[in-house]
Structure 1
């Protein structure tokens, strides 16, 4: 005799498996359609590039330098803000006659106003298509108690107040063109890793970006944010980081150094030498391509996560509860002597 209860159970289980598989295919199909549509939509580029002016800060080296060259090749009229005269000369040599440079210190209001005056005369009634706030500084800071107020001021003056000041100086021209503002933040604008002044400055950029995006939406101005992971640039060179960290250590009071232990600084510097060089992404184009898309796409993204570490580690980590992020970040942190 066949036990009908077993037959019915097996049949029910088979139906559930089929239903689950169909649901999986349905969800997969929706994802393919969604991302396929988004990919196709994002391919469309803005027309008349030769009539559009793009103002980029921090063009001496790194991302800004590469972006200026790339947009110049694509036909945009690039206005490159360089901190040094040497940076201006070298960039002009590498680009077409369309590109013009302005000497710019984003922490100096007079320098910002002078650049804005040049831009106003250059763009005329067409207005400014985009400003890319790329200029920034970075430095290892160690624990927050190693800091003094001037360390925070220096970082905020360039990385946050500089972004705000440059944006406000050209915002009327951008409104005229119904253009866009592209702000370069960082994954540490979402989650603090260690450097308090740098993270605070980038959290501020995120907040400024969000406020400005809402304010400018009625005017047809797009405000976009790039959040790169960790890339190999002059600011992330291990020897540079070690040198700066040593300066912070040397100025600490004796009692604070005793809390951390005499060998603490050597351990941290060893970590910089061993891990940072290997973990940094050397493909700067991952960031530059996001910046270029934000400038040239008809339908740019509101946010760009540049780099695999940003997409698959830092961004997901930023959404987790604090007790999980703290445990992960503290796991490989060198502990002070007083805490062992």
Structure 2
């Protein structure tokens, strides 16, 4: 008669044993495979475009500012490397930009076809819920969430045809927020969008991967330091009646200190993105974060909400009325 602990151990080890017996798949050959990346002006998208170019992929680097420094650097790099690198204007909030990008990719597809779509473009900001106007919420949803959906819908037929990969940029802040709730909101929505998409695409041989970086503010331009004076000046009179300048300053200092603790290079995140595109068996999620960030995610997913609320509330400054 099996004891319960022994049976549980067997159930845990059985998937590993089955995986070990699976035939080893050949490594992906980048030559002749096309990948479109959004948000290549800077940050992870820029680094990934350079890496894939050097690996031999055909890279379509979408840039919000095709005349900017980031795009110019990519064009300089295009002269070297193993595969073609093309820079194209791409504002993911504009249907016509996405449609034009699709036409450009179709006109320049290599022999192996369209292999990957990397939804990397995104923006971030700081502020409590009532501090931000509705226009800002609409902009963030349009860029961070609907932008991903626009490109996904446009390139889905190609991805199904060539049994390619989709990679989405999320964040550990999809699980918790430390002052950028508007950003966390959009990343949490991306997670759920990918959960549905991943299951739906399996029958077509299309794999969907989510990248969950921790704090990489120092290595990207997604979130610059915040200015308390500017935040205060932009608050409505109703919000100024609730909060005082000292509180805004304390929250800003707290958030800026978090930004300073961010990783200075983004190579680990790019490694995860490359693995998602090249591995014969990529992960559904790649969490690239410090131990304390992973611990916060663990607490969020395992413990009751009140536990995480207590932890975060204890480190936030309180409102002090003047």
TM-score when normalising by structure 2: 0.86
Q: Map of 1:193-232 to 2, 5 A cutoff?
A: 193-231=178-216, 232=218
- Do residues 90 (structure 1) and 73 (structure 2) align? yes
1:1-340 alignment runs, 5 A limit = 34=16, 46-84=27-65, 85-86=67-68, 87-95=70-78, 96=81, 98-123=84-109, 126-140=112-126, 142-231=127-216, 232-235=218-221, 240-243=224-227, 246-278=229-261, 280-309=262-291, 312-319=294-301, 320-338=303-321
Distance 2:292 2:140 in 1: 22
In the TM superposition, residue 72 of structure 1 has moved relative to its aligned partner by 1.2
Q: Distance in 1 between matches of 2:293 and 2:249?
A: 32
1:155-214 residue CA offsets vs partner (Å, 9 max, x unmatched): 111000000001111111111110011111111122333322211111111111111111
Shift of residue 64, structure 1, vs aligned partner: 0.7
Change (3 A) 1:257 1:311: closer
Q: Equivalents in 2 of 1:224, 1:275: separation in Å?
A: 27
1:88·1:103 contact (CA, 8 Å) conserved in 2?
A: no
Cα separation, 2, equivalents of 1:323 and 1:202: 22
Comparing both structures, which one devotes a greater share of its residues to helix?
Answer: 1
**TM-score when normalising by structure 1:** 0.82
Shift of 1:103: 1.0
The SS at the match of 1:289 is helix
Where in structure 1 do 4 or more consecutive aligned residues deviate above 4 Å?
A: none
* Equivalent residue number for residue 14 of structure 1: none
Counterpart CA distance in 2 for 1:292 and 1:45 is 16
Q: What 5-or-longer segments of structure 2 have no aligned partner?
A: none
Question: Size of the alignment, in residue pairs?
Answer: 310
Give distance in 1, aligned partners of 2:33 and 2:200: 23
Q: 1:328 to 1:233 in 2, by over 3 A?
A: same
* 2:124 and 2:180 in contact (8 A); partners too: no
Larger radius of gyration: 1
